[in-house]
Amino acid sequence: MTNRSVLESGLASSAIPQVVEEQLQQTSFIDVHTHLFMPSLGKVGLWGIDELITYHYLEAELFRSNDIQPADYWKLPKQAKADLIWQTLFVENAPVSEATRGVIAVLHAFGLPTGGDNLREARDFFASQNLENHIQNVFRLAGISEAVMTNDPLDPEEAPLWETGVEAHPLFHPVLRLDRILNKWPEHWQGLADRGYRVDAQAGGASVAEVRRFLADWCARMRPVYMACSLPDTFAYPEESIRGKLLAQAVLPSCREFGVPLSVMIGVRYLVNPALKLAGDALGKADLRAVERLALENPQNRFLISVLSRENQHELCVYARKFSNLMPFGCWWFLNNPSIVEEMTRERLEMLGTSFIPQHSDARVLEQVIYKWRNTRRTMAPILTNMYRLLAEDGRPVTQADVQKDITRLFRTNFLRFTGAASV
């Protein structure tokens, strides 16, 4: 078949960009990892202009352009913090970084001024919103049908709400987050003991069985779509440690029992600058042999996986080719910049076809999903266009149905199939 007749029986090469663009716009994505919360979890859900501007990504940037010391910054009330960041990063400097540009995109989406010298109008606008309607409007503007939360069963604010019974919300899926149990057992075992679980500081005796009972109780209470943990760059598996023991003997068997994947997010160097608090973490290259062993030794478990170091991305693709119980997802945190997203996504498509989840938002503030998903669509469009052009040139006509199916698979079905979650 000649090149010409190939293109005639599928989309013309010149039509591919528009079809890709349209399908990206028309498909509602599932946001598979956020730090957003359904309204019944009350003030653990952040939204509005002051939260947007005091996002920890922007706090880290503040200290590069303003001489204020972190200790003095933390003493300020929320609005004064936001005013300082606005003045420094948006008025005195052009907001060109990814995180600052995101705030601009959100303001613009709501028709609010993007270049003003104060935040008055934006504050009035957000204060006048009804939260439930606002969530629906934000999800519509972001092009997402639902968001996956991060729910910590040992969070002192959040846990009591679950324990007394919270109203589920069709737009939010729960996730059982295990960082305190797996990474900070010495500080948190007492929290389990206080709730009647027979655990001890060394995770000895009945601890493993009791952690399983704890996880079973929380699975019943929360119905999580997966369990999750962030892990340091030094993460090893198997490992002679409390984390290694609880992971192998409690968490992985519980995931199997309840049929949920475990999300492992590897590569954080926690609090390299403690003065910056939430903004104080960095990253390190991990040894992904730990992932190899996890996947190999636990074939009945499924792992959603994101690694924080750019240098680990290629290896992760190779491991995903070896183990179908690994589902790479997202361009996490410091990777979520168009240049790196582009590189990673091309690499993943080349090595894994459409069998991965390209992105999650990691939004901590509701309205961030607007800019984060807008950026994802903008970065994806030329990547997919190029991919289909190559395919057509190599002899396989590409149809609109192909494009629709692939985008749906990448941004919805891979997640739903892998987790077994029911979509709205």
Instruction: For tokens 């080719």, name the residue.
Output: 321
Of 24 and 265, nearer to ligand RAT (C-beta) is: 265
CB of 364 to ligand RAT, least distance (A): 6
- Residue pair 419/261 in contact by the 8 Å Cβ criterion: yes
Pattern 342-381, Zn ion, x by CB under 5 A: --------------------x-------------------
Closest by CA position to 264, among listed 295, 236, 313, 304: 304
Q: Angle at Cα 300 formed by Cα 298 and Cα 301, nearest 5°?
A: 70
CB of 333 to ligand RAT, least distance (A): 4
Rule CB under 6 A: choose which of 40, 270, 333, 396 binds ligand RAT.
333
Contact between 375 and ligand RAT by CB under 6 A: the answer reads no
Pattern 32-61, ligand RAT, x by CB under 6 A: ---x--------------------------
What is the Cβ-side half-sphere exposure of residue 147, based on CA atoms within 13 angstroms? 31
CB of 35 to ligand RAT, least distance (A): 6
- How far apart are alpha carbons 402 and 187 in whole angstroms? 51
Contact between 360 and ligand RAT by CB under 6 A: the answer reads no
Helix (H) or strand (E) holding 232: strand 227-232
Contact between 362 and ligand RAT by CB under 6 A: the answer reads yes
Pattern 221-260, ligand RAT, x by CB under 6 A: ---------x------------------------------
DSSP assignment letter at 43: G
- How far apart are alpha carbons 349 and 353 in whole angstroms? 5
Residue 359 binds: one of Zn ion, ligand RAT, none (C-beta under 5 to 8 A by kind):
none
CB of 312 to ligand RAT, least distance (A): 16
Q: Crossing angle, helix 78-85 and helix 56-65, to 10 degrees?
A: 60
Closest by CA position to 31, among listed 153, 109, 181, 135: 135
Residue 354 binds: one of ligand RAT, Zn ion, none (C-beta under 5 to 8 A by kind):
none
CB of 362 to Zn ion, least distance (A): 4
Residue ranges in 255-314 that form contacts with ligand RAT under rule CB under 6 A: 265
Closest by CA position to 288, among listed 326, 339, 245: 326
CB of 395 to ligand RAT, least distance (A): 42
Dihedral sign, Cα of residue 306, residue 310, residue 314, residue 315: negative
Dihedral sign, Cα of residue 237, residue 243, residue 249, residue 252: negative
Contact between 364 and ligand RAT by CB under 6 A: the answer reads yes
| Residues contributing to the site for Zn ion (CB under 5 A) | 362
| Residues contributing to the site for ligand RAT (CB under 6 A) | 35, 230, 265, 333, 362, 364
